[in-house]
Amino acid sequence: DSGVTQTPKHLITATGQRVTLRCSPRSGDLSVYWYQQSLDQGLQFLIHYYNGEERAKGNILERFSAQQFPDLHSELNLSSLELGDSALYFCASSAVPGALNEQYFGPGTRLTVT
Amino acid sequence: AQSVTQLGSHVSVSEGALVLLRCNYSSSVPPYLFWYVQYPNQGLQLLLKYTSAATLVKGINGFEAEFKKSETSFHLTKPSAHMSDAAEYFCAVSAAGGSYIPTFGRGTSLIVHP
């Protein structure tokens, strides 16, 4: 158990809908990272928040947005969903940003768009 | 820019045999290198990391990896495979002078036969 929690575990929704994925980092970690894992793209970095502020953006679509709240939990919002958005979405946390620091991954949310 | 190539999307070994998972990296600055393991229906967890202190790095569960700058490689090995080692393995690279966000390889699925 990494100490990172994600809800829900599974999500099935229709095209065009909007969903929110939630992540609670390990106790004391200020950094939250979001990743998308799919068979064709592998593990892709989406966005990084540190202590409530956006720090880095990766391959995140404009239809996707995220935020980190004062209690440090984070939410990833996916809107106007398309079939291709079906994937595993992981949240990871670390104490502080840094190339040296390993990330602790949550169990993921499996999103299926029908 | 940094990148990682994992040679072989699937590696199959017999229980008790040597495990060798290959990773080659590209980085314009000295890299930090990581191996993560993902068991079915779980998030990624760190196996080991190279941070320039020693070229041979020992990790959990009997795994180790050797950093070879001349070959730009960071291959993962284990002398004797166990059935419980069956999982997906990811190599990742980050760099203090480059992007602190790790870039992950596509992953290698390790299959262990009895």
**pLDDT per residue rounded down to tens, chain B (114 residues):** 789 999 999 999 999 999 999 999 998 888 899 999 999 888 999 999 998 878 999 999 999 999 999 999 999 999 999 999 999 999 999 887 667 888 999 999 999 999
Give the residue from A102, A105, A110 with the most B CB atoms within 10 Å of its CB, the best one to mutate. A102
Partner B contacted by A102 (CB < 8 A) = yes
Higher pLDDT, B1 or A22: A22
Q: Quick one: what percent of chain A has pLDDT higher than 90?
A: 87
B contact test, residue of A9, A21, A26, A43 with most B CBs within 10 A: A43
pLDDT band at A40 (very low <50, low <70, confident <90, very high): confident
Residue of A4, A42, A90 lying closest to B107 (CB–CB): A42
Confidence check: pLDDT of A26 > 90: yes
CA nearest B99 in A: which residue?
A99
**DSSP codes, B62-79:** G-EEEEETTTTEEEEEES
Q: How big is chain B by its Cα radius of gyration, in Å?
A: 13
What is the SS3 string spanning A48-87?
EEECCEEEEECCCCCCEEEEECCCCCEEEEECCCCHHHCE
In this prediction, residue B98 carries a pLDDT of 63
User: Does A2 touch chain B if contact means CB atoms closer than 8 Å?
Assistant: yes
Q: What b-and-e string marks burial along B69-98, b requiring 16 or more CB atoms within 10 Å of the CB?
A: eeeebbbbebeebeeebbbbbbbbbbbeeb
Helices (H), chain B: none
In this prediction, residue A25 has a pLDDT band, given cuts at 50, 70 and 90, of very high
By CA distance, what is A57's nearest residue in B? B101
> Rounded CA gap, B61 and B54, in Å?
19
Tell me if residue B83 falls in helix, strand or coil: helix
Q: Do A105 and B44 touch (CB under 8 A)?
A: yes
Half-sphere exposure of A3 (CA within 13 A, CB side): 11
